[in-house]
Amino acid sequence: MIDALEWATATELLAAYRSGEASPVEATRAALDSIDRHDAGINAFCLVEPEAALQEASESEARWRRNEPRGLADGVPTSIKDLLLTRGWPTLRGSMLTSPGGDWDEDAPAIARLRENGAVLLGKVTSPEFGWKGVTDSPRCGVTRNPWDPTRTSGGSSGGSAAAVSQGMGPWSVGTDGGGSIRIPAGFTGTVGFKPTYGTVPLYPASPFGTLAHAGPITRSVEDAALMMDILSQPDARDWSAGPAPTRSFLESLGDGLRGRSIAFSPDLGYGINHPEVEAAVRSAVGLLRELGADVEEIDLGWSDPVDAYHVLWFSGAAKVVEGYGPRAIERIDPHLAAALERHAGFSASDFLDATAVRMKLGREMGLLHEQYDLLVTPTLPIPAFEAGRDVPAGSDSQDWTSWTPYTYPFNLTQQPAISVPCGFTSDALPVGLQIIGPRHGDAAVLSVAAAYQGATDWCRRRPATTAELSTPTRN
Q: What is the dihedral of CA 12, 17, 21, 25, to 10 degrees?
A: 100
Taking CA atoms, 365 is separated from 49, 265, 302, in Å, by: 47, 15, 11
Tell if the pTM clears 0.75, that is, is over it: yes
Tell me, yes or no, whether 164 lies in a domain. Answer: yes
Q: pLDDT at position 471, please? A: 38
Rounded-to-integer distance, Cα 458 and Cα 139, Å: 37
Number of Cβ atoms within 10 Å of the Cβ of 462: 15
> φ, ψ for residue 419 (rounded to 5)?
-125, 145
Rounded-to-integer distance, Cα 318 and Cα 209, Å: 7
Q: pLDDT at position 1, please? A: 58
pLDDT digits (tens), the chain, 476 positions: 577 999 999 999 999 999 999 999 999 999 999 999 999 999 999 999 999 999 999 999 999 999 999 999 999 999 999 999 999 999 999 999 999 998 999 999 999 999 999 999 999 999 999 999 999 999 999 999 999 999 999 999 999 999 999 999 999 999 999 999 999 999 999 999 999 999 999 999 999 999 999 999 999 999 999 999 999 999 999 999 999 999 999 999 999 989 899 999 999 999 999 999 999 999 999 999 999 999 999 999 999 999 999 999 999 999 999 999 999 999 999 999 999 999 999 999 999 999 999 999 999 999 999 999 999 999 999 999 999 999 999 999 999 999 999 999 999 999 999 999 999 999 999 999 999 999 999 999 999 999 999 999 999 999 998 654 443 433 33
Rounded-to-integer distance, Cα 107 and Cα 91, Å: 10
Q: What is the dihedral of CA 407, 412, 415, 417, to 10 degrees?
A: 50
Taking CA atoms, 168 is separated from 8, 286, 318, 385, 463, in Å, by: 8, 29, 32, 19, 9
- Write the CATH number for 326: 3.90.1300.10
Taking CA atoms, 17 is separated from 20, 227, 440, in Å, by: 5, 16, 36
Taking CA atoms, 429 is separated from 189, 333, 432, in Å, by: 11, 34, 9
Tell me, yes or no, whether 467 lies in a domain. Answer: no
Indicate the length of the chain as a whole number.
476
Q: pLDDT at position 465, please? A: 82
- 203 CB-near residues (< 8 Å, 6+ apart): 108, 109, 110, 213, 214, 215, 239, 242
Tell me, yes or no, whether 472 lies in a domain. Answer: no
Q: Per the structure, how many domains does the chain have?
A: 1
Tell me, yes or no, whether 470 lies in a domain. Answer: no
Sheet containing 418-425: order of strands: 45-48, 120-125, 77-81, 172-177, 214-219, 192-195, 418-425, 431-437, 375-379, 262-265, 295-298
Q: pLDDT at position 367, please? A: 98
Rounded-to-integer distance, Cα 302 and Cα 394, Å: 28
> φ, ψ for residue 13 (rounded to 5)?
-65, -45
Number of Cβ atoms within 10 Å of the Cβ of 218: 35
Q: pLDDT at position 257, please? A: 86
Residues facing residue 421 across a β-bridge: 434
Reduced to 3 states (helix: H, G, I; strand: E, B; else coil), residue 204 is: coil
Tell me, yes or no, whether 123 lies in a domain. Answer: yes
Query: Checking phi first, is residue 20 left (phi over 0); if not, alpha (psi -120 to 50) or beta?
Result: left
* Centroid of chain to Cα 215: 8
Rounded-to-integer distance, Cα 111 and Cα 81, Å: 10
- The DSSP annotation for 19-81 comes to HTSS-HHHHHHHHHHHHHHHHHHH--EEEE-HHHHHHHHHHHHHHHHTT---TT-TT-EEEEE
Give the dihedral sign, CA 457/459/460/463.
positive
Tell me, yes or no, whether 255 lies in a domain. Answer: yes
205: closest CA among 191, 220, 197, 215? Answer: 215
Q: pLDDT at position 108, please? A: 98
- The DSSP annotation for 98-127 comes to S-S-S------HHHHHHHHTT-EEEEEE--
* 418-439 CB burial, b ≥16 within 10 A, e <16: bbbbbbbbbeeebbbbbbbbbb
Catalytic residues: 81, 157, 181
Domain span at 280: 5-461
Tell me, yes or no, whether 99 lies in a domain. Answer: yes
Under a CB-based contact definition with an 8 Å cutoff, are residues 78 and 147 in contact? no
Tell me, yes or no, whether 46 lies in a domain. Answer: yes
